[in-house]
Structure 1
Amino acid sequence: MNKPPRHIGVILAAGRGERSGFDRPKQMMKLAGRPLVEHTLAVFQDSADIDQIIVVTNKDCQEQIQQLTANRRFSKVKAVILGGSERYQSSLAAIAATEHLARDYAVKLIFHDAVRPLVNERIIADVAQALRHYNACDVVVPTTDTIVSVDPLTNTIDFIPDRSRLRNGQTPQGFALETVKLAYERALRDPDFKTTDDCGVVLKYVPDEKIYLVTGEHDNLKLTYREELQILDKLLQMKSRQATHQPINPQVFAELKHKVLVVFGGGSGIGLDMVNLAQAHQAHVVVATRGTGVDVTDLTAVKLCLANTVAEFGRIDYVVNTAAVLTCEPLANMDYADVVRSVQINYMGAVNVALAAFDYLRQSQGQLLNFTSSSYTYGRAFYSLYSSAKAAVVNLTQALAEEWHSEGVRVNCINPERTDTPMRKRAFGVEPAGTLMSSHDVALQSLNVLLGKVTGQIFDLRRPA
């Protein structure tokens, strides 16, 4: 009788990152407020093709990862075990930890580097599909650079292979348990065995076994050097941008029913549209503006607003800060009172809202959502205070996402393209039709972000092409 398949994700997280110059193991480096290993685990947890997960790590990280899996409710993680100083020792540990399952299942091991956090569901699904027909598979992308073979004695080129036949290997790599186990049994009997990746072991020691190639993606990048952490951060932002360009499933907004949402600056523009949309989906919404007696520059007033909200509804699930002021004027021409007012509203307002909201969001495991502007990427003439404050809000968002991550509080930021709002009309007048985003569309995407699971992200919203 054929045994049912059992796909086990093996997350290899035993590296220490010493050679790369990190001050902690690479898998624990933060990306958008979360350790890399958490990003990776989240993808495998959400994959419909993964039945369970084993994490192979080192003594320094074992307790942290165990706590992380418990806090984030990664229910598929069945064990966090110790590997070895060499990669193949971690693979052997995973093989030993899963052999008992072979009595009841056709076990398929899907090995993946913890420090490849941008792996996606499509790649995992394709690996699982390949394992229906093959006992080994690798994930690869076409080689884009010319590869040269070097004579080590003369330091000159001795061969240039045909690039059309070359691929860059990635992970995951998938295997039938009995295949990879056999390969390692033979490898360990070889006195000249040298450490390589798992596909290399199968290729050398089970040469009759065909290794199928699954197409990977160039953004499935492995963190090796410090500067690549910044690249991963930008790639993650690009993925977030792509996600916000996808059609929104209207059913997702049913989750707003009976949720408690406080919107600072909710009297006009994007904030008002968020209020109306959330109320239409039966959320309890509190509008906090100067018109309702709440000035974001007054920490006492902000605290009182949130306290009154909890007194009425029992909790706060989401806090949104859209309050802002835009003055188009050279800094040297501005009255100092207007300078102070701009900084107080655009930056200290965000700080005050964050300070007052933290304890409530910690209790609800909720989210703080800030707003920035496309001008945050570089200072703009005539609104230097606005653009510099919005850059500060981005940094505040990313910092708080890291600080509050262990408490289960998500912090994100919306960066909309130029948007048709009353504030923009006051600053720039009437602009050509069709050149601005609608505040309604921005509000829809912003509510969609509130209902998501990510943290530490800057969501770039753009008009449809």
Structure 2
Amino acid sequence: MKFSLKNKTAIVTGGGSGIGKAISKTLAAQGAFVNILELNVDNAEVTKSEIESDGGQAAVYQCNVVNQEDVIKVVNTIAEKNGVDILINNAGIAHIGNVENTQEADLDRVYNVNVKGVYNCIYASIPHMKAKGGVIINMASIASSVGINDRFAYSMSKGAALTMTYSVAKDYVNQGIRCNCISPARVHTPFVDGFLKNNYPGKEAEMFEKLSQTQPIGRMGKPQEIADLALYLCSDEASFITGTDFPIDGGFIKLNG
């Protein structure tokens, strides 16, 4: 079977909803044992149940990626059982604002989750991958590569995810560890629906269409589309790929402007 992950152990942060949920279910469907790291374990348990109902295997760990001690403890627990073959750094938060209306607390909050959280998970996982190799995928963004209005803190964090990817790929290529990142444009997730409901009450449909049209292809991405790309990058079929950013953006980067 192409893209088989049989006998592989995966860690997916933020795997309880949105893109993380789609990735968790997709990796499990291809044979991986998926360990979901989440703050909200209720969402993660739903994902786990859906995976198991489809014949897959999963486990849930409550974990705050900001807390290095917490991350190391959870990753070590997973590794003692099955090792660590795949790490998907998906957990992240958003922030809207330019530099003038980004407060220090805002910057720290985004940095802690989107930068330090990625670092913590890589730091904890790398020692368990060095003996037999592994795959790391960081969730970056089109904001890693091009300017986006009112995304100062978010762009900072996703730029860091991109360059951390390059650094880890370079440092560990001789240990058989591949590190790539995925850079989506807007993807239709529950987060988007909540954002529109909270910020544009009564105008959700209008704003959804407006946001959809910012992608030249004329729509938002689907979580499953991101998950399918992640599956490919995790598989042996992608064994010649490392240190690369993969935009999945409906033409946003190359076709806008």
TM-score range for the pair, normalised by the shorter chain length: 0.7 to 0.9
Residue 450 of structure 1, CA deviation: 1.1
Structure 2: 5+ residue stretches without partners: 42-61, 198-203, 213-217, 252-257
1:322-377, Cα deviation, whole Å (9 max, x unpaired): 11101113443344333211111111111111111111121231111101111112
Whether the aligned pair in 2 keeps the contact of 1:326 and 1:427 (CA below 8 Å) is: no
Whether the aligned pair in 2 keeps the contact of 1:325 and 1:423 (CA below 8 Å) is: no
| In structure 2, distance between residues paired with 1:345 and 1:258 | 30
Partner secondary structure for residue 327 of structure 1:
coil
Residue 274 of structure 1, CA deviation: 0.8
Aligned to 2:2: 252
Partner secondary structure for residue 100 of structure 2:
helix
The one-letter code of the counterpart of 2:175 is E
Residue 312 of structure 1, CA deviation: 2.4
Q: 1:402 aligns with which of 150, 170, 173?
A: 170
Partner secondary structure for residue 415 of structure 1:
strand
**Alignment pair present for 1:385 and 2:153:** yes
**Alignment pair present for 1:445 and 2:229:** yes
Q: TM-score, normalised by structure 1?
A: 0.43
| In structure 1, distance between residues paired with 2:148 and 2:249 | 19
The one-letter code of the counterpart of 1:262 is I
**Alignment pair present for 1:326 and 2:94:** yes
Aligned to 2:46: none
Aligned to 2:22: 273
Aligned to 1:306: 75
Whether the aligned pair in 1 keeps the contact of 2:132 and 2:175 (CA below 8 Å) is: no
**Alignment pair present for 1:367 and 2:151:** no
| In structure 2, distance between residues paired with 1:416 and 1:335 | 26
Partner secondary structure for residue 119 of structure 2:
helix
**Alignment pair present for 1:354 and 2:122:** yes
| In structure 1, distance between residues paired with 2:192 and 2:138 | 18
Partner secondary structure for residue 332 of structure 1:
coil
Residue 428 of structure 1, CA deviation: 5.1
The one-letter code of the counterpart of 2:169 is A
Residue 420 of structure 1, CA deviation: 1.1
**Alignment pair present for 1:411 and 2:188:** no
Aligned residue pairs, count: 213
Residue 427 of structure 1, CA deviation: 4.0
Residue 277 of structure 1, CA deviation: 1.4
**Measured at CA, do residues 335 and 462 of structure 1 come closer, stay the same or move farther in structure 2, by a change above 3 Å?**
closer
Aligned to 1:74: none
Q: 2:107 aligns with which of 335, 339, 351?
A: 339
Aligned to 1:241: none
Partner secondary structure for residue 347 of structure 1:
helix
The one-letter code of the counterpart of 2:72 is K
Higher relative contact order (CA 8 A, sep 6+): 2
Residue 305 of structure 1, CA deviation: 1.3
Whether the aligned pair in 1 keeps the contact of 2:13 and 2:38 (CA below 8 Å) is: yes
| In structure 2, distance between residues paired with 1:421 and 1:363 | 37
Cα-Cα RMSD: 2.0
Q: Which has the larger radius of gyration?
A: 1
Partner secondary structure for residue 26 of structure 2:
helix
Residue 463 of structure 1, CA deviation: 3.8
Structure 1: 5+ residue stretches without partners: 1-250
| In structure 1, distance between residues paired with 2:232 and 2:40 | 27
The one-letter code of the counterpart of 1:323 is A
The one-letter code of the counterpart of 1:281 is Q
Residue 389 of structure 1, CA deviation: 1.2
Q: 1:458 aligns with which of 238, 245, 248?
A: 245
Query: What is the percent sequence identity of the aligned residues?
Result: 25
Which one has a larger percent strand, Structure 1 or Structure 2? Answer: 1
**Measured at CA, do residues 425 and 331 of structure 1 come closer, stay the same or move farther in structure 2, by a change above 3 Å?**
farther
Residue 261 of structure 1, CA deviation: 0.5
1:47-93, Cα deviation, whole Å (9 max, x unpaired): xxxxxxxxxxxxxxxxxxxxxxxxxxxxxxxxxxxxxxxxxxxxxxx
